[in-house]
Amino acid sequence: MVYIGIDVGGTGIQIGVVDENGRILAKGDTPTLVGRPFEDIVRDMGNCMLNTIKEGGFTTADVAAIGVGVPGIADNQTGNVIFCTNLGWTNVPLRTELQKYLNKPVYIDNDATVAGFAESVCGVSAGRHSSVFITLGTGVGGGIVIGGRPWSGFHGIGSEIGHIPMDMNGEPCTCGNYGCLERYTSATAIIRMAKQQVLQHPDSMMHDLCGGDLTKLNAKMVFDAAKEGDPVATKVFNRYADNLAQAIYTIIAFLDPEMIVLGGGVSKAGSFLLNAVKERLPRYLIFKTLPYAEIEIARLGPDAGIIGAAMLGRN
Amino acid sequence: MVYIGIDVGGTGIQIGVVDENGRILAKGDTPTLVGRPFEDIVRDMGNCMLNTIKEGGFTTADVAAIGVGVPGIADNQTGNVIFCTNLGWTNVPLRTELQKYLNKPVYIDNDATVAGFAESVCGVSAGRHSSVFITLGTGVGGGIVIGGRPWSGFHGIGSEIGHIPMDMNGEPCTCGNYGCLERYTSATAIIRMAKQQVLQHPDSMMHDLCGGDLTKLNAKMVFDAAKEGDPVATKVFNRYADNLAQAIYTIIAFLDPEMIVLGGGVSKAGSFLLNAVKERLPRYLIFKTLPYAEIEIARLGPDAGIIGAAMLGRN
CATH number for the domain including A291?
3.30.420.40
**pLDDT value at residue A283:** 95
Tell me, yes or no, if B68 comes closer than 8 A to chain A by beta carbon: no
Same domain, B219 and B290: yes
Strands (E), chain A: 2-8, 12-18, 24-31, 63-70, 73-75, 80-84, 89-92, 106-110, 130-136, 140-146, 149-151, 259-263, 294-297
Checking if the pLDDT of B86 tops 90, the result is: no
Residue B92 lies in domain: 2-120+303-314
Cβ separation B166–A163 shorter than 8 A = no
> Based on the structure, what is the number of domains in chain B?
2
A171 touching B, CB under 8 A?
no
| Mean pLDDT to the nearest integer, B186-215 | 96
User: What's the pLDDT band for A37 if we cut at 50, 70, 90?
Assistant: very high
Element (H, E) at A51: helix A38-55
What would you report as the CA-atom Rg of chain A, rounded to the nearest whole angstrom? 20
pLDDT > 80? residue B47:
yes
Going by pLDDT thresholds of 50, 70 and 90, the confidence category of residue B83 is confident
Check CB contact of B173 with chain A, cutoff 8 Å.
no
Residues 6+ apart with CB under 8 A from B210: B216, B217, B218, B221
Tell me what pLDDT residue B315 has. Answer: 73
CB contact under 8 A, B155 and A284: no
Task: Say whether pLDDT at B43 is over 80.
Answer: yes
Query: Which among B130, B166, B250 is the nearest to A154, CB-wise?
Result: B130
Residue A8: pLDDT band by 50, 70, 90 thresholds?
very high
Write down the pLDDT at residue A174. 86
| Cα B298 to Cα B262: distance, rounded to the nearest angstrom | 6
Secondary-structure breakdown of chain A: helix, strand, coil percentages, each rounded to the nearest 5: 45, 25, 30
For residue B217, pLDDT over 90 is answered with yes
Q: Please tell me the distance from the alpha carbon of residue B66 to that of residue A154, in angstroms, as a whole number.
A: 31
Q: Which residues does A128 contact at the CB level (< 8 Å), separation at least 6?
A: A120, A145, A257, A258, A259
- B291 and B308 housed in the same domain: no
Quick one: which H or E segment has residue B91?
Answer: strand B89-92
Shared-domain flag, residues B174 and B252: yes
First CA to last CA across chain A, in angstroms? 13
> Shortest CA distance to B182 belongs to which of B89, B112, B81?
B112
pLDDT(A49) > 90: yes
The pLDDT-based confidence of A31 (bands split at 50, 70, 90) is very high
For residue B281, what pLDDT is reported? 98
Question: Are B308 and B285 within one domain?
Answer: no
CB A101 within 8 A of CB A292: no
Nearest CA in chain A to B175: A286
Domain identity same for B135 and B266: yes
Q: B167 and B46 in one domain?
A: no
Average pLDDT of the segment spanning A209-224: 96
Contact B255 A250 (CB under 8 A): no
A132, A58: one domain? no
> Strand B12-18 vs strand B24-31: parallel, antiparallel, or unpaired?
antiparallel
Provide the ipTM.
0.94
Q: Check whether residue B220 and residue B77 sit in a common domain.
A: no
Per-residue pLDDT of A63-101, as tens digits, reads 999 999 999 999 888 999 998 888 889 999 999 999 999
Q: Where are the beta strands (DSSP E) in A32-186?
A: 63-70, 73-75, 80-84, 89-92, 106-110, 130-136, 140-146, 149-151
pLDDT digit string, tens, across residues A250-277? 999 999 999 999 999 999 999 999 999 9
Looking at the structure, do residues B34 and B153 belong to the same domain, yes or no? no
Q: Judge if A307 and A187 occupy the same domain.
A: no
A3 vs A312: CA distance, rounded Å: 9
Tell me what pLDDT residue A85 has. Answer: 82
Cα–Cα distance, A288 to B287 (Å, whole number): 37
Q: pLDDT band for B309, please (50, 70, 90 cuts).
A: very high
Whether A154 sits inside 8 A of B129 (CB atoms) is yes
Question: Residue B16: is it exposed, middle or buried by C-beta count within 10 angstroms (0-12/13-18/19+)?
Answer: buried
Closest-CA distance of chain A to residue B144, Å: 9
The pLDDT of residue A315 is above 90: no
Q: What is the mean pLDDT of residues B260-285?
A: 97
> What pLDDT, in 10s, does the model give residues B144-180?
999 999 999 999 999 999 999 999 989 899 889 999 9
Amino acid at B80: N
**Whole-structure pTM value:** 0.95
Average pLDDT over residues A5-26: 97
**What's the whole-number average pLDDT of chain B?**
96
> Which of these, A112, A115, A95, A82, lies nearest to A46 by C-alpha position?
A95
Across A146-155, A168-177, B118-127, B190-199, least confident range: A168-177
Task: With CA atoms as reference, report the closest residue to B250 among B179, B188, B153.
Answer: B179
Same domain membership, residue A134 and residue A235: yes
Q: Are residues B155 and B25 in the same domain?
A: no
Chain A environment of B91 (Cβ under 8 Å): none
